Amino acid sequence: MPSLTRDEARQRAQLITVDRMEVDLDLDRGAEQFGSTARIRFSCNAPGETTFLDLRPVSVESVVLNGAPLDVGSVHGGRVALRDLRAENTVEVTATMTYSRDGQGLHRSTDPADGEDYVYGHLFLDAAPTVFACFDQPDLKAPYAVSVRAPQEWVVLGNGRATRTGPGEWELSETLPLATYFVTVCAGPWVSVHDEHDGIPLGIHARRSLRADLERHAPQMLEVTKQSFDHFHRTFDVRYAFGDYDQVFVPEFNAGAMENPGCVTFRDPMLFRGAATREQVLQRSNTIAHEMAHMWFGDLVTMRWWDDLWLNESFAEFMAYTATSAATEFTDSWVEFGIARKQWGYAAERAPSTHPVAGSPAPDAQSALENFDGISYAKGASVLRQLIAHIGEEAFNTGVTAYLRSHEHGNGELSEFLEAMEATHGASLADWSRAWLETAGVDVIALDRDGTLTRTVPEAHPADRTHALDVAGFTGGAETFRTPVTLDAPQVRLDAVPDSAVLLPNAGDLTWAVVDLDAASLAALPAELSRIPDTTARSVLWGAVLTGVFRASVDPKVALDVFTAAWPLESHDALMSRVATAFNDRILPTFLAEDDVEAAEERLAGAALMAFQGATPGSDRALVAARVLAAATTDEDRLSAWVDGRSLPEGLEGDSDFRWLVVQTMARLGLADDTLIAGVEADDTTLSGHLAGLTARAARPEASDKEWAWAEITENRERSNYELNALATGFWSSGSIETLRPYAARYVTDIPRLAQWLGADAHDRVASLAFPSRVVEPGTVELVRTAMAGPRLTAGVRRAMGDELSKLEEALTSRSRWAG
């Protein structure tokens, strides 16, 4: 079906205004389909003209425009033509819709723990027409009045306050104007924790089988919710506008969370059922703050079209980390941002799909989905930090408030945001915007021993970006100097640079730039890195090592030397976790020559064992080290004892997720037969256990295991989005190159066919996870490039293939440069 184009959206918005939406949903028709009736009041400023509704039904029972029935056969390509419009119009559409299993539209899931069903609406990006007839574009906002019929034992939640009006009958209070993609209904036998803060009713909800986890985590989540509300009210000076504030943890959710006004949805693995490190709780807390920030940036003021999605995501990213660092216990949250989010963004900048923060071309709605990446999130947030350095925090906050108040309940775009900022700054921001927001690419900065700080601009995306940053030096566990610098030229000479073992530009991680370390600093890291007292500086250094490997400027064997020397002594759990993941999941299996991998894996496992033995039992460091050790070790006795519940690390007794991590390692090593996996599945009948079992089965290295897993991914249309992800995650984690090589060719033929039954968001994710990343050979490059040049791929799958291919090519380039 055609995706709405920007030109079509602009023409429709110029013609009509949507005044009110009434939606009636019947969720009591069984597990496959539901009933949908939408009554839409809209005005037309050119009577007699024609427009169209968006609708993707199973069947249409009736379409009535201004009292006159239309031919129900007039639905073509997901659109219903509405002709001869009046100045004031009402259209009513009654249709039958189908539940999804791919996380889009109205998703229905069965909890294997107790057999209960749950439904939630995820209408992002253009899935609203699969739930109700509408004018599906972000600038045709309208109030919604929603009623729901559901099984009598279910609880219904949504954007407005839900009231039970009879057995199985619910009404949601009419909302303020919403974009279609923000509308949600969540229905099922939810369990709930309620509270109130500053006059705002609060609710946190989850599946019935997660009651104990919900009740254990709710106090911390409610605390962060309250702290975030207070912070945003102070910062924006604009009150939260959407009534109740419900947060619903839903199964099989494609994203991390979704900012539906008044009813935020989260992926429910965030209700950690086992031990959780401080970093994991920080990530969840940051997600809570991120989605709340959207209540202002995205919900109160919505982008006019998808090419300004940065006005949603960059601001929510920046505001969330600002809130967690300033208003919660997580005062060091920018450290996690640097090692996790910025590394994601730098990877996106290296990919061929790199794009500007703002104004990225989005000729149609589906193409916009491709730009929800580390650039729109992490780079955008970093750029906003640079904007504050440029105009000052007071001018920035004043401009934000003015922008929100002047556009509330409406739509905005880049030019209007810049106008608000220029009014408070008192000068034009056009040059700044062109350099930072409207030009792709990341600068490389380096500090020489003679005190010369250089800025290298990417040739493909030249821009004159001024960086506000600092440089620092470290020797023997002490900071030798720190100097603020404005880098506004290709080279800046510092007055004095004291002799230091490690020289570090951007030591405070204040700007968006890749750091190249000088040779002496890199050589000093094995001895110096773990002794540096500044956690942010260590984050920048670890990031420089990782990006250096990916850019082929650092030998992966040298990086492994740094890891084995410094990582076991690292004290920050976010740095431990993220760096180990990069080495274990990518650097060792793809950047090293095949003959070097086994020895490198032994060194990584040795570092994990050293960290584990040196950590305080039960501490975050011990937990991270135990997980890394469980994923990396080949010690069959240790693995067998842990899977049997013997000699477990403190705090991991009865931890099902840790047990599955051990099982998956045993599976990769060929040590997990059907009996072992089935036994662990019998002990863990939850959705998480089911998915972990699929990953373990796909992770086994034998040819028959790979054949089964690939068939499940590419042929079983009953598999949900999460099941496909679990299978794809396990598939490439083991197996000889001879076993895996044929699947590179099968990937380019089989994965595109999933578009026949899988939604775009889920399909794109599977295309990334199922990519033949372990077949690091020129033949894989040729296969994928040929497929990308053909006509069979959706835009999202082509983007996913291209981005994953760029990672494989990075590994090939590194192997070529550092061979021998």
- Secondary structure of 501-565 as H, E, C letters: CEEEECCCCCCCEEEECCHHHHHHHHHHHHHCCCHHHHHHHHHHHHHHHHCCCCCHHHHHHHHHH
Mean pLDDT for all residues in the chain? 96
Distances (CA, A) of 767 to 476, 566, 609: 46, 35, 35
Say how far apart CA 142 and CA 178 lie, in whole Å. Answer: 5
- Last residue in a domain, options 380, 398, 429: 429
- Last residue in a domain, options 409, 429, 449: 429
Q: Which two tokens stand for residue 592?
A: 């090293």
* C-alpha closest to that of 367 among 800, 765, 796: 796
What does the pLDDT look like over 585-630, one tens digit per residue? 999 999 999 899 999 999 999 999 999 999 999 999 999 999 999 9
Distances (CA, A) of 685 to 91, 114, 682, 700: 47, 9, 6, 21
| 398 domain-assigned | yes
371 pLDDT above the threshold of 80: no
Distances (CA, A) of 28 to 149, 151, 163: 6, 5, 17
> How much is the pLDDT for 743?
98
SS3 589: helix
What does the pLDDT look like over 71-85, one tens digit per residue? 887 788 899 999 999
- Give me the half-sphere count of Cα atoms (radius 13 Å) on the Cβ side of residue 432: 21
SS3 223: helix
pTM comes to: 0.96
Three-point CA angle 569, 572, 574, nearest 5°: 125
Q: Where are the alpha helices (DSSP H) in 716-772?
A: 721-731, 737-740, 742-750, 760-769
Query: Using an 8 Å Cβ cutoff, are 347 and 374 in contact?
Result: yes
Query: Using an 8 Å Cβ cutoff, are 434 and 463 in contact?
Result: yes
Say how far apart CA 738 and CA 312 lie, in whole Å. Answer: 46
Question: What's the DSSP call for residue 378?
Answer: I
Split into its structural domains, the chain has a count of 2
Question: What's the DSSP call for residue 4?
Answer: P
Residues facing residue 100 across a β-bridge: 107
Say how far apart CA 39 and CA 209 lie, in whole Å. Answer: 37
| 749 domain-assigned | yes
> How much is the pLDDT for 778?
97
Residues facing residue 94 across a β-bridge: 37, 62
pLDDT band at 309 (very low <50, low <70, confident <90, very high): confident
| 293 domain-assigned | yes
Strands 443-447 and 513-516: parallel
| 809 domain-assigned | yes
How many CB atoms sit inside 10 A of residue 35's CB? Answer: 16
Query: Using an 8 Å Cβ cutoff, are 172 and 138 in contact?
Result: no
2 pLDDT above the threshold of 70: yes
DSSP string, 133-197: -B--STT--B-EEEEEE--TT-EEEESSPEEEEETTEEEEPPPSPB-GGG--EEEES-EEEEEEE
Distances (CA, A) of 569 to 324, 600, 608, 679: 26, 19, 10, 37
Mean pLDDT for 516-537 is: 98
- Last residue in a domain, options 414, 429, 444: 429
Element (H, E) at 577: helix 573-582
158-191 CB burial, b ≥16 within 10 A, e <16? bbbbbeeeeebebbbbebbbbbbbbbbbbbbbbb
Q: Cα-Cα-Cα-Cα dihedral of 605, 611, 612, 616, to 10°? A: 180
Write out the catalytic residue numbers. 291
370 pLDDT above the threshold of 90: no
| 819 domain-assigned | yes
| 400 domain-assigned | yes
Say how far apart CA 159 and CA 221 lie, in whole Å. Answer: 20
Q: Provide the edge-to-edge strand list for the sheet that holds 502-505.
A: 478-487, 467-475, 502-505
Residues facing residue 598 across a β-bridge: none
Mean pLDDT for 428-451 is: 96
**279, burial (CB in 10 Å: exposed 0-12, middle 13-18, buried 19+):** buried
CA 430 to chain centre: 30
pLDDT band at 391 (very low <50, low <70, confident <90, very high): very high
Question: What's the DSSP call for residue 80?
Answer: E
Three-point CA angle 18, 24, 26, nearest 5°: 150
369 pLDDT above the threshold of 80: no
Name every residue whose Cβ is closer than 8 Å to that of residue 577 and which is 6 or more positions away in sequence. 277, 279, 624, 627, 628
What does the pLDDT look like over 736-757, one tens digit per residue? 999 999 999 999 999 999 999 9
* C-alpha closest to that of 235 among 352, 305, 309, 320: 320
Question: What's the DSSP call for residue 616?
Answer: P
Residue range(s) defining the domain that contains residue 801: 704-820
Q: Which two tokens stand for residue 476?
A: 């023997």
Q: Where are the alpha helices (DSSP H) in 328-449?
A: 333-336, 342-350, 365-369, 374, 380-391, 393-407, 414-425, 430-436
- CATH number for the domain harbouring residue 355: 1.10.390.10
Distances (CA, A) of 354 to 295, 347, 372, 616: 28, 9, 11, 43
Mean pLDDT for 50-75 is: 93
Q: Which two tokens stand for residue 98?
A: 């189908």
Say how far apart CA 396 and CA 315 lie, in whole Å. Answer: 12
The tokens 């299993």 sit on which residue?
A: 101
Say how far apart CA 435 and CA 465 lie, in whole Å. Answer: 5
> How much is the pLDDT for 131?
98
pLDDT band at 820 (very low <50, low <70, confident <90, very high): low
| 121 domain-assigned | no
Q: Provide the edge-to-edge strand list for the sheet that holds 144-149.
A: 68-70, 59-65, 88-98, 33-44, 16-26, 144-149, 169-172, 162-166
pLDDT band at 1 (very low <50, low <70, confident <90, very high): low
| 638 domain-assigned | no
702 pLDDT above the threshold of 90: yes
DSSP string, 264-321: EEEEGGGS-SS---HHHHHHHHHHHHHHHHTTTBTTTEEESSGGGTHHHHHHHHHHHH
What does the pLDDT look like over 138-151, one tens digit per residue? 999 999 999 999 99
The tokens 């990341």 sit on which residue?
A: 442
